[in-house]
Structure 1
Amino acid sequence: MEKRWEIYPKISEDLKIQLLANRNITDKGSQEDFLQTHLNLLSDPEKLFPELPKVIKRIKKARVDKELIYIYGDFDVDGISASAILWETLNGLGAKVLPYIPERHTEGYGLHNEALAKLAAAGAKLIISVDCGITALEQTRYAKKLGLDLVITDHHQPQESLPKAFAILHTTGLSGSGVAFKLANALLAEFGGNDEQFFRNLELATLGTVADMVPLVGENRVIVKNGLRALGKTERLGLRSLYDEAELSKNIGTAEIGFIISPRLNAMGRMESALDSLRLLLTNNPDRARKLALKLGETNRGRQESTRQAFEHAKQEVEKNYNEAKLFVVSSAEYEQGVVGLVAGRIAEAFHRPTAVISEVSPVSKGSARSISGFNINEAIHTHAELLTAHGGHPMAAGFSIAQVNIPAFRERLTKTAEQLLKPAHLVPTLKIDAEITADQINQELLDVVREFEPFGIGNLEPTFLLKNVEVVESRMVGKDGKHLKLVLRVQGRALSAIGFGLGSRELPKGTVDVVFTISENTWQSKKTIELKIKDLKES
């Protein structure tokens, strides 16, 4: 799919200043904070959450009175990490605490009356939700009837009215595990916890923050920048076993989390039970850690195959039935509930269209949606809430439950919403380019500048550069099924090695081209060289 190239206006000859300006970081203090990312930049939790003192007081009472506390989590990496943070912190502080993770296939996302009743019957007095609850108005009322004190910690988009819970700790600026991390920090400060637990929590908050793809700016950047170092030397037996299973070095970055660690942790919640992923994060038994890591790896391979099959089917449905549609709603009884979000994301990326994928089950089906820049999929779905039994999410991603009989009406109405709101410009993917550079600027100094901007993710994408009038010396397809494009380029008498991941299906380039790329260091047989990672290219 052809992309529209958009170069940021030139602000400065200093490339570092230019990259900062492209990220709307212009004053000196903000620039220093962004580049240094000291842990002392983490804000006071009480300033972020006005009801925090009330929560601390209630937890203190539960701790003293030995009341049973349940951490009510979610089955994705963010929810599992948040659950592990609060369970481990509270358990270490002497509280009587247990985790509860709902089953994706039988319960689905969020708070449920049946689960609340079960926890109350088990003796729970205090329930702390993590990564869910901000839209659970009816369930909050039911919890009160059961005599439960419900504390909601969440980061999802709220509705017009907030639940009347015992207390709410909510911000859309952090991940669910980020919110749990802030609460845990307050608990450690109140009850005299140690630095070791702080850094163990930081590891988990980093996993959840990267996996949930929240913007890596502000406190999220501080958490992840420092948390990646902690993950590289983690003492968690489960993570170390997972690194071994995945053949990872201890140099953990956002790519390793996003493409290797997170899929394995998520696979259990998608295909079986997320409790095994939680157990892996928390176990102190080496043999159990190894067995759980092997199980997660095996389950992930099954998830990959299920995703591949569903994606191929959904892709065929889109190509056959949707033609010029601005939004896709694809449904089938063949889709596993646990992979519909992954399939929606891949379809949205392949066609650059908002996409909802539904696993059809009677009487209630489960769906997941992914969007493109400029279209708030969560708001669009909320517009048709009367057709749904539950829904929630973010501007770029949302989940929902729907009666099977309502799927045709939902498809028609959501498609009409997209037709009204999406303009032609929205439907052409834009490739943002940080700066046009010359060949002599591609050196170790540039690589060092780029590294100062790590970690990369939503809100802080890896810097991209434009190089014009480059001669293609050699081009060939590489990798499984020739999916990737390997190039040797020459400009101003200098040869450059380049790789275009996922570009193997394009016609092999010849002659002179303009290339958009990121810069990286490639190590082969202990020799380090600079390599260009091609994002796109066009004839000059």
Structure 2
Amino acid sequence: MERARRRWDLPELGSSAPSEPLLRRVLRSRGMSDRDFAARDDPVDHDPSLLTDMQLAVGLVAEAVAAGTQIAVYGDYDADGVTASAVLVRAFQAIGIEILAHIPNRESEGYGLNLQALEELAAQGAQLVITVDCGTTAVEVAAARPPGMRLIVTDHHLPHALADGSGFQLAPADALVNPQRPGDRYPFKGLAGVGVAYKLVQALEAARLMPPGTARQQLPLVALGTVADMMPLAGENRWLVREGLGTWAEAAPLGLLALARGAGIEGAPSSSDLGFSLGPRINAAGRMEDARLALECCLAASPPEAARAAAGLEALNRSRRRSLSEALELARPMVERLPDELAAIVIGDEGFPSGVVGLVAGRLAEEFQRPSFVYSRAGVEWRGSARGAPGLNVVEALASCSGTLSRYGGHRGAGGFSVRPDSVGQFEQAVVAAVGQQLGSREPCRVFHVDATAELAECNLKAADELAALGPFGNSNPSVLLCAMGCRVVATRPFGKAEDHLQMTLEDGSATVEAITFNRPQLRRHLPLGRRIDIVFELEVDRWRGRERARLLLRDLRPARP
């Protein structure tokens, strides 16, 4: 199988004339008017009571608080589940209540509710359990929960359809709060698990069960979990992330502040910092050992405690990078041996560490522009992760293979699954067929949607600040991509501890600028001094030791065209 070809989707020359301000050209390319730009920061904060069962959930919490009964939160081992768990623990601490917190271990428990963990929580006195980022599809576990245990499910994953297509299966909880559940009236369906947990805190605050400002104090955690879970940064999510970044200095937990310092982030992070620096460090705990360390980082009560937890996550993140690199070295040759006509990549190997199969699937999906399903051995079964492609509903694809799976779940664009030990071959055939049925004859192609062409003289600090105002950037609101033609290579030099990144100086006759690209050390040999290239890039603000400058982050390049 060959890597997907690349294509630049360039704006028409007339819509990108340098005589017009760069920001205006970008707005036009994105179909935005000046009024849209001016209204981009208007609050989008929907009433939490619109979520089905929210008032039931508030009533259950009120009863538990009044009776003094033990409450527990049951989370997930990824950044969304960890931050959502931290949101509820911190919110209850605001009213002097310490709740139990359980996050399942990836290796020994796997994703979602499990009965043994509920029994252990019951043994610790928990009479009300609130799930975050899980629970909607845990039909059997919820039904078999310990006698007398009340259960509130807060989640954002898609429910499973009944086999006969007549409806959906929902866990029999006392309250199930999920904007994705059928018939729910909440106007925004893209909330992360941490977003749903935040709406519960909002509802508890509105019911005067928590003091004013409790929900707002959780916004940095909400921003981190939302971006790390690759939720669409549109509508309410855009507002939540923007507010989370805006309140970072005053409200971010001590552990996140320590984690940011360790990652070299000065001041408030950007959405890119959340997605590519802090999110992976929080996720590293659940991927490599136990997500409990990530939760401890989010809940650290003192600077020394925060520093210890952040240092532990930093070490695990380095281990995660090594494991990912080794897994990709194993995976890429396997994919290259697959027939090119396959609609999806489906590979498994006992050598894949289970904690990085999702990352491997993501990298393969990007490089080959095909949905990727990657799995590894976990005891007697095979557990895996899936990453989709535009037009594919991953959960529907997995549902069509449910006879070969012991469990599955997720979103439209990503999911997790466990394959029965005697059904691996059947699963591979079935999921490729299911993907092909959804996508048809789609040609794999990596497309760079360029917002505007620009001269390097336009790529200054003022322009970088103006374009940053279109953020926060992420899923459904991609970073602004610009294109510059005929740039001459003036200088190149590697940087980084392993010298695996590249810095270069470019000029196009209008100005000379600095540019960088990451994890492409081999590129230098193809860029002799004086070579002319066309580039696609993001214009970013480089902050270092209190100084700011504009810098290009290269996304792609090609030989200059006449």
1:7: which partner in 2? 10
Output aligned runs, 1:50-65, within 5 Å.
Answer: 50-65=52-67
Do residues 182 (structure 1) and 203 (structure 2) align? no
User: In 1, distance between residues paired with 2:209 and 2:126?
Assistant: 25
Match of 1:508 among 527, 547, 551: 527
Cα gap change, 1:496 to 1:260, in 2 (>3 Å): closer
Higher RCO, 1 vs 2 (CA within 8 Å, ≥6 residues apart): 2
User: In 2, distance between residues paired with 1:525 and 1:278?
Assistant: 30
* Paired residue type of 2:39: D
> Any idea what SS the aligned residue of 2:474 has?
coil
Output aligned runs, 1:111-510, within 5 Å.
Answer: 111-143=113-145, 146-160=147-161, 161=168, 162-171=170-179, 172-191=189-208, 193-194=210-211, 197-234=214-251, 236-423=253-440, 425-468=442-485, 470-474=486-490, 476=492, 478-479=494-495, 483-506=500-523, 507-508=526-527
Query: Given that residues 330 and 356 in structure 1 are in contact (C-alpha distance below 8 angstroms), is that contact kept between their aligned partners in structure 2?
Result: yes
Deviations 1:440-470 (A, max 9, x none): 53344422320211221111111112233x2
> How big is the shift at 1:261?
1.9
2:99: which partner in 1? 97
User: In 1, distance between residues paired with 2:288 and 2:200?
Assistant: 30
User: In 2, distance between residues paired with 1:235 and 1:258?
Assistant: 16
Cα gap change, 1:56 to 1:25, in 2 (>3 Å): farther
Query: Given that residues 482 and 505 in structure 1 are in contact (C-alpha distance below 8 angstroms), is that contact kept between their aligned partners in structure 2?
Result: no
* Paired residue type of 1:135: T
Cα gap change, 1:529 to 1:278, in 2 (>3 Å): closer
* Paired residue type of 1:91: Q
Deviations 1:51-101 (A, max 9, x none): 222211111111101122221111111101111111221232244621111
User: In 1, distance between residues paired with 2:510 and 2:129?
Assistant: 67
* Paired residue type of 1:474: V
Deviations 1:212-270 (A, max 9, x none): 11111111111111211322444633223323443432331223222222222212211
User: In 2, distance between residues paired with 1:246 and 1:535?
Assistant: 22
> Any idea what SS the aligned residue of 2:391 has?
coil
Q: Which runs of 5+ in 1 are unaligned?
A: none
> Any idea what SS the aligned residue of 2:65 has?
helix
Cα gap change, 1:81 to 1:326, in 2 (>3 Å): same
Cα gap change, 1:68 to 1:516, in 2 (>3 Å): same
Higher mean alpha-carbon deviation, 184-193 vs 19-28, is at 19-28
Cα gap change, 1:292 to 1:20, in 2 (>3 Å): same
* Paired residue type of 1:58: L
Cα gap change, 1:139 to 1:3, in 2 (>3 Å): same
> How big is the shift at 1:149?
2.2
2:76: which partner in 1? 74
Cα gap change, 1:289 to 1:496, in 2 (>3 Å): closer
State the TM-score, normalized to the length of structure 1.
0.90
User: In 1, distance between residues paired with 2:350 and 2:556?
Assistant: 37
User: In 1, distance between residues paired with 2:236 and 2:122?
Assistant: 35
Root-mean-square deviation over aligned CA pairs? 2.7
User: In 2, distance between residues paired with 1:393 and 1:174?
Assistant: 13
* Paired residue type of 2:366: E
2:39: which partner in 1? 33
> How big is the shift at 1:537?
2.4
Higher mean alpha-carbon deviation, 212-221 vs 225-234, is at 225-234
> Any idea what SS the aligned residue of 1:197 has?
coil
Query: Given that residues 486 and 500 in structure 1 are in contact (C-alpha distance below 8 angstroms), is that contact kept between their aligned partners in structure 2?
Result: yes
Cα gap change, 1:61 to 1:18, in 2 (>3 Å): farther
Higher mean alpha-carbon deviation, 235-244 vs 369-378, is at 235-244
Cα gap change, 1:379 to 1:19, in 2 (>3 Å): farther
Cα gap change, 1:515 to 1:128, in 2 (>3 Å): same
Deviations 1:284-335 (A, max 9, x none): 1333323222222222222222222112111122223455533212211122
* Paired residue type of 2:539: I
Deviations 1:31-70 (A, max 9, x none): 4331x244xx3122113x1322221111111110112222
User: In 2, distance between residues paired with 1:179 and 1:349?
Assistant: 29
User: In 2, distance between residues paired with 1:347 and 1:310?
Assistant: 11
* Paired residue type of 1:255: S
User: In 1, distance between residues paired with 2:545 and 2:309?
Assistant: 34
Cα gap change, 1:333 to 1:53, in 2 (>3 Å): same
User: In 2, distance between residues paired with 1:524 and 1:173?
Assistant: 35
Do residues 520 (structure 1) and 520 (structure 2) align? no
* Paired residue type of 1:146: P
* Paired residue type of 1:190: A
Cα gap change, 1:20 to 1:178, in 2 (>3 Å): farther
> Any idea what SS the aligned residue of 1:249 has?
coil
Query: Given that residues 206 and 223 in structure 1 are in contact (C-alpha distance below 8 angstroms), is that contact kept between their aligned partners in structure 2?
Result: yes
Query: Given that residues 107 and 378 in structure 2 are in contact (C-alpha distance below 8 angstroms), is that contact kept between their aligned partners in structure 1?
Result: no
> How big is the shift at 1:488?
3.4
* Paired residue type of 1:292: A
User: In 1, distance between residues paired with 2:257 and 2:148?
Assistant: 41
* Paired residue type of 2:416: G
User: In 1, distance between residues paired with 2:547 and 2:79?
Assistant: 36
Query: Given that residues 461 and 549 in structure 2 are in contact (C-alpha distance below 8 angstroms), is that contact kept between their aligned partners in structure 1?
Result: no
Higher mean alpha-carbon deviation, 17-26 vs 332-341, is at 17-26
Query: Given that residues 327 and 352 in structure 2 are in contact (C-alpha distance below 8 angstroms), is that contact kept between their aligned partners in structure 1?
Result: yes
Query: Given that residues 362 and 403 in structure 1 are in contact (C-alpha distance below 8 angstroms), is that contact kept between their aligned partners in structure 2?
Result: no
Q: Which runs of 5+ in 2 are unaligned?
A: 162-167, 180-188
> Any idea what SS the aligned residue of 2:258 has?
helix
State the TM-score, normalized to the length of structure 2.
0.87
Match of 2:550 among 523, 530, 534: 530
> How big is the shift at 1:497?
3.0
Cα gap change, 1:329 to 1:474, in 2 (>3 Å): same
Higher mean alpha-carbon deviation, 146-155 vs 497-506, is at 497-506
Query: Given that residues 346 and 373 in structure 2 are in contact (C-alpha distance below 8 angstroms), is that contact kept between their aligned partners in structure 1?
Result: yes
User: In 1, distance between residues paired with 2:509 and 2:441?
Assistant: 39
User: In 2, distance between residues paired with 1:473 and 1:336?
Assistant: 41
User: In 2, distance between residues paired with 1:432 and 1:32?
Assistant: 24
2:185: which partner in 1? none
User: In 2, distance between residues paired with 1:330 and 1:487?
Assistant: 37
User: In 1, distance between residues paired with 2:273 and 2:249?
Assistant: 11
Report how many residues are paired: 533
> Any idea what SS the aligned residue of 2:423 has?
helix
Structure with the largest fraction of helix? 1
Query: Given that residues 281 and 313 in structure 2 are in contact (C-alpha distance below 8 angstroms), is that contact kept between their aligned partners in structure 1?
Result: yes
Cα gap change, 1:167 to 1:496, in 2 (>3 Å): same
